[in-house]
């Protein structure tokens, strides 16, 4: 039996993504605001909150559907209440996407089975996908849902079979439960524009085609209603308005956050293409004539280009919004012909420019170029480690005999080198655990904060069992102090002198000096009152 020529490459791609995504995740703390917020939502669900209506800091959280939070809770059930178990959920969908893109490549181009393994390798080692694929966010889940949808759309050409219809319905439902109706922007252009990409002899009658798409919608709606039906009832009128309109269609009409110019994603294209599209072979694979060469390539091109146009026109933009289109780029680039002429090898060093830029910036930190960042002598050690890793990447890039083998090492090693160099900055400044632990140690009488934008940054980090009360003004502070003797108040800066409120600790976090204050206990506490805990020493002591 002839072996699949892309199978070894696929296995290598899966191992590479799993290894480097895990390493990158472990090299950095849980990052605020997004990662800390999402794990806090999952933590409140774990603590006994509603399984249908997510909550953040005791309030209904309507910004995202619950699938990620459900899966994090399942991970905790299986492996214990570990931060690492929770943080591996989203990367697991990145790993699934690497496998699915190989499946899709083999389906699109059965006469070129090697493209499956190469597409998987390109996706697994693309900088943007590897970076965001190692974070606790929703976009790898959306990527996997999009790939299932594309596999189903391609299979729908084969006649009225129920399997692909169900597959597309499951893909749409998975996408909605992962991040909302935005899945339609990623999947539906390719489905609706079938006459543009299908070969003439393979085209399906339009009535039958769109009937199958409509049936897939019905299946998806039925699956989503298993959650959405109870959720809109339990969540009340405000939750219904938020989840059904404001956080879905409303975001497309007028963004409530992350407003960016229309050319934002165009400007980021070099980063989406890094490093595979930075070579002559990669650019050749993206020529307009190549993008329309065959039905599979046309379908993938419509998928990528339609999403780029749609998200460019939507006012709210973030770099990770186009992560589900990274598999489309990998599929298109899998048609490249590797070149490795000796005279061209030196040009490959340009692939390391992102890492080299961080080398220069990190080397300037100890000299005070960035006054808000720590400048200890230990930072030189991490800088040297990063330089050594980049030097290893440069050696591999220069000595590799085939272009695609060289490119596969660029982003993984560069990202590890970058995180090594910024280690002295990430952990002292961005780790929420020390501040969360301080809150937990003094939380017996209640915790409040004067940060009106508090988004649960320290609730999961400190494993707090009660919400943090957000105080909007000095009157709220006075009332809370009267009701919570011995309670603590977290402030993103110094508070004015308030009688009965004394500072007990201070921590630096994300360019702010956070202070913890404790409310004095009454001079003659009642017999049933809990004794006041000895204040913890200030972090500055």
What count of other Cβ atoms lies within 10 Å of the Cβ of residue 195? 11
pLDDT at position 381? 85
Of the segments 106-115, 345-354, 523-532, which one has the largest average pLDDT value? Answer: 106-115
Buried b (16+ CB within 10 A) or exposed e, 17-35: bbebbbebbebbbbbbebb
| pLDDT over 90 at 251, yes or no | no
pLDDT at position 536? 42
Cα–Cα nearest to 63, from 73, 53, 72: 53
Answer with the residue of higher pLDDT: 373 or 442.
442
pLDDT at position 337? 72
Measured CA to CA, the distance from residue 161 to residue 56 in angstroms comes to: 43
Measured on CA atoms in the order 23, 34, 137, 88, is the torsion positive or negative?
positive
pLDDT at position 361? 78
Write out pLDDT tens, residues 434-443: 999 999 999 9
| pLDDT over 60 at 527, yes or no | no
Beta-sheet strands, E only, within 384-474: 447-449, 469-470
Measured CA to CA, the distance from residue 328 to residue 189 in angstroms comes to: 13
pLDDT band, residue 308 (cuts 50/70/90): very high
Measured CA to CA, the distance from residue 276 to residue 273 in angstroms comes to: 6
pLDDT at position 534? 43
Please state the rounded mean pLDDT for residues 171-193. 95
Please state the rounded mean pLDDT for residues 399-413. 82
Q: How many helices (H) and strands (E) does the chain have?
A: 23, 7
pLDDT at position 243? 77
pLDDT at position 532? 47
Please state the rounded mean pLDDT for residues 482-496. 93
Q: What percent of the chain has pLDDT over 70?
A: 87
Write out pLDDT tens, residues 112-170: 999 999 999 999 999 999 999 999 999 999 999 999 999 999 999 876 678 999 999 99
Answer with the residue of higher pLDDT: 76 or 81.
76
pLDDT band, residue 341 (cuts 50/70/90): low
pLDDT at position 1? 40
Buried b (16+ CB within 10 A) or exposed e, 294-303: ebbbbbbbbb
pLDDT at position 241? 77
pLDDT band, residue 256 (cuts 50/70/90): very low
Write out pLDDT tens, residues 30-64: 998 899 999 999 999 999 989 999 999 999 998 89
- pLDDT, mean over the chain: 88
Answer with the residue of higher pLDDT: 248 or 512.
512
Give pTM, 2 decimals: 0.90
pLDDT at position 358? 81
Measured CA to CA, the distance from residue 372 to residue 512 in angstroms comes to: 10
Measured CA to CA, the distance from residue 230 to residue 245 in angstroms comes to: 17
| Cα separations in angstroms, 50 against 47, 128, 210, 317, 454 | 9, 34, 38, 30, 21
Q: What are phi and psi of 397, to 5 degrees?
A: -60, -40
| pLDDT over 60 at 428, yes or no | yes
């Amino acid at each position: 039996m002839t072996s699949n020529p892309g199978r070894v490459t696929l296995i290598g791609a899966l191992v590479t993504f799993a290894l480097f995504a895990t390493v990158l995740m472990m090299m950095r703390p849980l990052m605020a605001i997004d990662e800390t917020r999402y794990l806090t939502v999952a933590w409140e669900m774990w603590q006994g909150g509603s399984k249908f209506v997510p909550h953040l800091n005791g309030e209904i959280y309507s910004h995202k559907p619950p699938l990620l939070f459900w899966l994090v809770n399942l991970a905790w059930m299986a492996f214990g209440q570990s931060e690492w178990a929770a943080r591996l959920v989203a990367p697991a969908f990145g790993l699934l996407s690497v496998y699915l893109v190989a499946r899709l490549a083999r389906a699109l181009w059965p006469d070129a089975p090697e493209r499956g393994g190469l597409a998987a390798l390109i996706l697994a080692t693309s900088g943007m996908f590897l970076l965001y694929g190692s974070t606790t966010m929703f976009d790898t889940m959306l990527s996997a849902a999009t790939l299932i949808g594309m596999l189903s759309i391609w299979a729908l050409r084969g006649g009225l079979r129920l399997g692909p219809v169900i597959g597309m319905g499951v893909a749409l439902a998975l996408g909605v439960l992962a991040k909302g109706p935005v899945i339609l922007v990623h999947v539906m252009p390719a489905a609706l524009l079938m006459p543009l990409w299908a070969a003439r002899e393979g085209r399906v009658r339009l009535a039958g085609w769109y009937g199958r798409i409509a049936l897939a919608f019905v299946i998806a709606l039925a699956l989503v209603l298993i959650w959405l039906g109870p959720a809109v009832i339990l969540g009340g009128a405000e939750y219904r308005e938020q989840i059904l309109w404001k956080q879905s269609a409303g975001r497309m009409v007028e963004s409530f956050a992350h407003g960016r110019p229309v050319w934002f994603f165009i400007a980021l294209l070099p980063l989406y293409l890094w490093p595979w599209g930075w070579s002559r072979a990669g650019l050749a694979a993206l020529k307009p004539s190549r993008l329309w060469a065959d039905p599979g390539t046309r379908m993938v091109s419509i998928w990528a280009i339609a999403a780029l146009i749609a998200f460019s026109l939507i006012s709210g933009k973030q770099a990770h919004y186009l992560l589900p289109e990274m598999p489309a780029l990998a599929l298109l680039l899998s048609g490249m012909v590797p070149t490795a002429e000796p005279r061209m090898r030196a040009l490959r060093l340009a692939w390391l420019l992102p890492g080299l830029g961080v080398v220069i910036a990190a080397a300037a930190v100890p000299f005070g170029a960035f006054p808000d960042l720590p400048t200890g002598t230990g930072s030189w050690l991490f800088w040297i480690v990063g330089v050594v890793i980049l030097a290893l990447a440069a050696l591999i890039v220069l000595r590799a005999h085939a272009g695609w083998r060289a490119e596969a090492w660029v982003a993984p090693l560069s990202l590890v080198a970058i995180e090594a160099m910024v280690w002295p900055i990430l952990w002292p400044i961005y780790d929420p655990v020390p501040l969360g632990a301080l809150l937990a140690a003094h939380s017996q009488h209640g915790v409040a904060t004067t940060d009106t934008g508090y988004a649960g940054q320290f609730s999961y980090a400190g494993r707090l069992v009660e919400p943090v009360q957000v105080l909007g003004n000095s009157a709220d502070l006075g009332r809370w102090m009267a009701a919570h003797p011995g309670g603590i108040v977290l402030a993103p800066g110094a508070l004015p002198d308030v009688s009965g409120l004394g500072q007990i600790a201070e921590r630096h976090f994300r360019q702010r000096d956070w202070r913890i204050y404790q409310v004095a206990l009454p001079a003659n506490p009642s017999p049933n009152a809990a004794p006041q805990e000895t204040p913890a020493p200030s972090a500055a002591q």
